[in-house]
Amino acid sequence: MLPCQMQAHCGCIYGRDLSQGIGPVAITIRNKQTEELIRRIGRRTGEGPSAVVARAVEALSQSPDTVSEDEKRRKFESLMKLAPPRDPSVTWKDIESDMDSIF
């Protein structure tokens, strides 16, 4: 592991070789629950907070870039909760007519 080149300035150590294109990054997490979760995981694994976050980010970067069907469904359902209820009597022809009158 290489210490951060700005260690004296920012006090952080980042466990990556800088030649890989990943430089030192100081991150402030402003969520107490997330901070505590990171600390708990670190105590369990014997790692510091930076190592826990680095390992989590590495694992996420290895996962496929596609979104699972469950995640798509959850996102769609959460968006639909924000939308007004649909009027079942409206047809596609009505929508086209409304669009034509606007444009």
- Measured distance CA(62)–CA(86) in Å, rounded: 40
Answer whether residue 13 shows pLDDT above 50. no
Burial class (CB in 10 A: 0-12, 13-18, 19+), 38: buried
Does position 14 have pLDDT exceeding 90, yes or no?
no
Across residues 74-91, what is the average pLDDT?
Answer: 86
**Mean pLDDT, rounded, for 22-46:** 86
Q: Give me the residues paired with residue 3 across strands.
A: 13
What pLDDT sits at residue 85? 78
Residue 16 has pLDDT above 70, yes or no: no
Q: Report pLDDT for 3.
A: 46
pLDDT value at 17 more than 60: no
Overall pTM > 0.75: no
Q: What is the mean pLDDT of residues 16-26?
A: 58
Per domain, the residue ranges of the chain are: 7-102
Mean pLDDT of the chain: 78
